[in-house]
Amino acid sequence: MRRIILSTESGADLPGDLAEKYDVQVVPMHIIMDGKDYLDGSLPVQDIYDYYERTKKIPSTTATNTHEYQEFFATIRENFPDCIIIHIGYTSKASSSFQSAVIAAEEFEDIFLIDALNVTGGLAAIVLYAAKVLENEPVIEPERLVEKIEAVVPKARLTFIPGSLEFLKAGGRVSNMASLIGTLLKIKPCIELKDGKLVSTKKYRGKMSGATEKLMNDYLNEFNIDREQLYFIYSIGLDEKIKQRMDEVAKENGFQNIRWIQAGGMISTHSGAGGFGVAGLEE
């Protein structure tokens, strides 16, 4: 039986220990500051915030290009000869990275591509679901694994409150931000993934501590999330007391496993410091 290797982008914010545990291969996206191109993951996230404080400019980001994907897939084949690759990609509705993977894959055989229509912890939840299925069924046929992953894609639910409204404005990745501009300084917008797009859906007023509780309550009321696993996403600067309270809320609601995921450079560039999000899979 040929080995199946999973891959994804750095925008999944997949924790390094879990990537190593499941042999998930991660291709970096790009962060641009002062005309310099940095690979996502090679640059400390704090440098992004420090750069903004110095310059009041927000770094830009670029997708992984076709040539990089060609090298990425070739390297996987070198390291895992005769493997089958299943690539679970960052939403195609917010980045050209997935399309680059599609073009690059034309030069290879036995590569399956899945548009996760999600980012950060939502994408990580799908990748880790696939990894656990593979761990439990090591001889599963690749086509069957792809079917299982594709079936869970629409069940992945991600919602978050960005830490900095200035970063969110500059990111330009939210489809209906125009409706928020007038009250931008008075509210904390809730951003959700809807059909692969980042959409502002609710407005929370007040302190971050109160907003995160409201977000969590709305999330659990709206979605029937599998209590086996929940993912919290945070960007540097989130108050530790908020993290402790969210752990308590998750446990009170019957979640068995809770994993905190730090937003990496790609996501932090668009959401700013002190952000909070939650991701899980619906039953």
**Per-residue model confidence as pLDDT tens digits over 147-196:** 999 999 999 999 999 887 667 665 554 444 444 543 455 678 888 988 99
Average pLDDT estimate for 23-40:
95
Q: Are residues 96 and 204 in the same domain?
A: no
Q: Which of 125-139, 187-201, 211-225 has the lowest mean pLDDT?
A: 187-201
Q: Are residues 178 and 83 in the same domain?
A: no
List all residues 6 or more positions away from 202 whose beta carbon is below 8 Å from its beta carbon.
189, 190, 215, 218
Q: Using the 3D structure, point to which of 123, 152, 181 is the last residue of a domain.
A: 152
Phi, psi angle pair for 84, to nearest 5° = -105, 130
Q: Give residue 205's identity as a one-letter amino acid code.
A: R
Q: Are residues 161 and 249 in the same domain?
A: yes
Average pLDDT estimate for 66-87:
97
Higher-confidence residue of 131 and 203: namely 131
The pLDDT of residue 182 is: 39
The pLDDT of residue 57 is: 84
Residue 103 covered by a domain: yes
Q: Are residues 8 and 143 in the same domain?
A: yes
Residue 17 covered by a domain: yes
* Residue percentage of the chain with pLDDT more than 70: 92
* Predicted TM-score of the model (pTM): 0.94
Residue 270 has pLDDT above 90, yes or no: no
Taking the C-alpha atoms of residue 213 and residue 270, their distance in angstroms, rounded to an integer, is 22
Residue 197 covered by a domain: yes
Alpha helices in the chain (DSSP H): 16-21, 45-55, 66-79, 97-105, 120-136, 142-152, 165-171, 208-222, 240-252, 265-271
Q: Are residues 178 and 260 in the same domain?
A: yes
Residue 101 has pLDDT above 50, yes or no: yes
Total number of domains in the chain? 2
Q: Are residues 15 and 88 in the same domain?
A: yes
Q: Using the 3D structure, point to which of 113, 128, 152 is the last residue of a domain.
A: 152
Average pLDDT estimate for 125-140:
97
User: Measured in Å, how far apart are the chain's first and last C-alpha atoms?
Assistant: 31
How high is the mean pLDDT of the chain?
92
Q: Using the 3D structure, point to which of 96, 124, 152 is the last residue of a domain.
A: 152
Q: Are residues 142 and 12 in the same domain?
A: yes
Q: How many residues does the chain have?
A: 283
Neighbours of 35 (CB within 10 A): 5
pLDDT tens-digit map of 42-53: 999 999 999 988
The pLDDT of residue 175 is: 47
Q: Are residues 145 and 181 in the same domain?
A: no
Residue 137 has pLDDT above 70, yes or no: yes
Q: Are residues 194 and 275 in the same domain?
A: yes
**Domain containing 270: what range?**
156-281
Q: Are residues 164 and 260 in the same domain?
A: yes
Q: Are residues 112 and 247 in the same domain?
A: no
Residue 53 covered by a domain: no
Taking the C-alpha atoms of residue 50 and residue 48, their distance in angstroms, rounded to an integer, is 5
Average pLDDT estimate for 5-31:
97
- Residue 42 CB burial class (10 angstroms; 0-12, 13-18, ≥19): exposed
Q: Which string of b and e fits 149-159 if b means at least 16 CB within 10 Å?
A: beebbebbbbb
**CATH number of domain containing 132:** 3.40.50.10440
Residue 46 covered by a domain: no
